[in-house]
Structures are given as structure tokens and as C-alpha cells.
């Protein structure tokens, strides 16, 4: 598996589909969003197929190039941070180390860009994601009502780089 950023142009549509299938709000319909290649990391298999994607968010924005107006109206942002934010990780077939490899590349990017750490904002009821981030060195630093109104409580997780 090759980990690369920015996401290669031929895989950008696949990356948007994989990410959107995991994180789209219920009202999004079938419209595939535009994404920013340079705000993403791709895991590419030996066959050239996408195996996973991680979105990144910083002061310049996130993986999505634009949000539908309803999303802009409803989304509740977490407090600002100097960290590089993981804007969602999704893999095609878990438990092969792809998520960990994507996080390692994100940590490299954070160090290179002068961020003190990585941050993830995870729904507490998403026990699989909470366990993944704990296993990769993240610690909870806060909780709140962030994200979508229907998301439930969200944990803010941090890992120094």
C-alpha cells in the first residue's frame, strides 16, 4: 500500500465517494461534493485502487471544497485549534493497518507545517473510531455538542506530533 498526498487526480472521484459515503449528512442526497486533493491523503494499493482516504482540516479549510448551504447553517464547529484536524478517515476493508498509515502521514504533514499535534472530533457513540484513536495515541481533551445536531456528544481527541 502506498500512502500519498495530495490525492492523485485519477483517484480524486473515488476518494470523494468513499469519504462521502461515510460522512455525508442525511439530507445530502446523491450529490457528490467537490474535494481538495491537497487536504487529503490516499492509500493506494499495488493495483492502483484506492484503499482508504483521510481528510485534513486546517485554517485554510477542510477536505470538502464547499458545503451545501444547509450544511453551513446546521454544522456546529468545535473550538479553534492550532492542531491539524483529521477531517475523517475511512478505509475500504478495515484491520489492515491502512488507517494507522494514513494517521502517520497526517502526523508527518502536521510536523512539516508547524502544527503542535493532530486533533480528531469523534462521536462518542462511535465506539470503533474511539477505540482506533485511543490505540493510535490520541487522548480525550474535551467533549461538546459539535458537528451535526443529530450527532450526539462529540469527543475532542488530541495526539502530539
pLDDT(120) > 80: yes
- Predicted confidence at residue 127, as pLDDT, reads 96
- Stretch 97-126: mean pLDDT, rounded? 96
- Predicted confidence at residue 68, as pLDDT, reads 65
Residue 77 cell numbers, joined: 464547529
For 52, the domain range is 2-116
If pLDDT is split at 50, 70 and 90, which confidence band does 29 have? low
Q: Is residue 143 part of a domain?
A: no
- Predicted confidence at residue 15, as pLDDT, reads 96
CA separation for the pair 109, 126 (Å, rounded) = 26
Nearest to 138 by CA among 152, 117, 113: 117
Q: Is residue 77 part of a domain?
A: yes
Residue carrying the nine cell digits 483517484:
11
pLDDT(70) > 80: no
- How many structural domains compose the chain? 1
Q: Is residue 156 part of a domain?
A: no
CA separation for the pair 35, 121 (Å, rounded) = 19
Nearest to 89 by CA among 75, 97, 99, 79: 99
> Is 143 in contact with 155 (CB distance < 8 Å)?
yes
CA separation for the pair 49, 147 (Å, rounded) = 30
Q: Is residue 157 part of a domain?
A: no
51 burial class (0-12, 13-18, 19+ CB within 10 angstroms)?
buried
Q: Is residue 25 part of a domain?
A: yes
- What whole-number percentage of the chain has pLDDT above 90? 68
Q: Is residue 64 part of a domain?
A: yes
Tell me what the pLDDT averaged over the chain comes to: 90
CATH number at residue 13: 3.40.630.30
- Predicted confidence at residue 28, as pLDDT, reads 64
Q: Is residue 154 part of a domain?
A: no
pLDDT tens digits, one per residue of 127-155? 999 999 999 999 999 998 877 676 779 99
Q: Is residue 112 part of a domain?
A: yes
Residue 43: CA atoms inside 13 Å, Cβ hemisphere, count?
24
Amino acid at each position: 500500500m502506498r500512502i500519498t498526498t495530495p490525492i492523485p487526480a485519477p483517484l480524486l472521484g473515488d476518494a470523494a465517494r468513499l469519504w462521502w459515503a461515510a460522512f455525508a449528512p442525511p439530507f445530502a442526497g446523491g450529490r457528490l461534493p467537490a474535494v481538495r486533493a491537497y487536504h487529503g491523503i490516499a492509500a493506494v494499493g499495488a493495483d492502483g485502487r484506492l484503499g482508504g482516504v483521510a481528510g485534513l482540516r486546517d485554517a485554510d479549510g477542510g477536505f470538502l471544497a464547499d458545503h451545501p448551504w444547509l450544511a453551513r447553517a446546521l454544522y456546529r464547529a468545535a473550538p479553534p485549534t492550532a492542531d491539524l484536524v483529521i477531517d475523517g478517515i475511512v478505509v475500504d476493508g478495515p484491520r489492515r493497518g491502512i488507517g494507522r498509515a494514513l494517521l502517520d502521514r497526517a502526523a508527518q504533514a502536521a510536523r512539516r507545517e508547524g502544527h503542535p499535534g493532530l486533533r480528531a472530533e469523534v462521536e462518542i457513540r462511535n465506539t470503533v473510531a474511539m477505540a482506533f484513536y485511543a490505540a493510535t495515541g490520541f487522548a480525550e481533551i474535551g467533549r461538546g455538542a459539535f458537528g451535526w445536531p443529530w450527532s450526539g456528544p462529540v469527543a475532542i481527541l488530541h495526539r502530539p506530533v
